[in-house]
Amino acid sequence: MSLAEDGRPLSLTWHYTPREVFADGVVHGLGVLLGLAGAVALVATALTGHLGWGERVAVAVYAMALVAMLAVSATYNLCPVSPRKWLLRRADHALIYLMIAGTYTPLVALVGTGPVAWGLLAFIWIVAGIGIAVKLLLPGRFDRVSIGLYLLLGWSGLFAYESVIAALQPTALWLLAAGGVLYSVGVVFHVWRGLPFQNAIWHAFVLAAAACHYGTVWASLTGAAVA
């Protein structure tokens, strides 16, 4: 593996100014606060609505994945440069896979129909599991490939359009599409290392996309909970 003695991938440089770190901290702080509040609201609504236990567990999986991704991302990006930071980097990148799989889980449970929907969910979790293992066990390897895989998994719902996507309410559908576009456009800033405040801008796109996908899950949950 191409790692320095402190565990840092040799291809990675960390050179953000104090102002850039502060801006990134604001974005992450807002994300953690909103994520915690949103997760509590989702779980409370799922527990009090007319849902089965399978659907409630699916919502809880998404809520936990959301909070874990936001919290670990904030910890990693705001942690001073040290061996601990590079360990957090592994968890941060691994949790992106968990977040993608976690987002699809309640959508399939709440609105998915037929074996195609559940087959899609199984595929997403299998690929996500492999991606998590690679990020944790092979740090600094396949980082570029992982970006493409994140996007592929994120848009994989299109392969089960009739079984999942078409069943969404119009608002939920548009929010899902908007989130996907925001994530995809944000990747441009993720790889644009020379741009001032690049990391904060990238994470702002991630937060906006996560908010859109939260809206998709919320709309699907509230629609199912009162049915």
Q: How much is the mean pLDDT over the chain?
A: 90
pLDDT band at 198 (very low <50, low <70, confident <90, very high): very high
pLDDT digits (tens, 9 = 90+) for 25-53: 999 999 999 999 999 999 999 998 788 99
pLDDT digits (tens, 9 = 90+) for 127-163: 999 999 999 988 777 777 888 888 888 888 888 888 9
pLDDT digits (tens, 9 = 90+) for 172-187: 999 999 999 999 999 9
Using the predicted structure, report yes or no on whether residue 106 has a pLDDT greater than 90. yes
Of 129, 134, 21, 142, the C-alpha closest to 85 is 21
Using the predicted structure, report yes or no on whether residue 8 has a pLDDT greater than 80. no
Using the predicted structure, report yes or no on whether residue 225 has a pLDDT greater than 70. no
pLDDT band at 10 (very low <50, low <70, confident <90, very high): low
pLDDT band at 59 (very low <50, low <70, confident <90, very high): very high
Domains and their CATH numbers in the chain: 18-225 (1.20.1070)
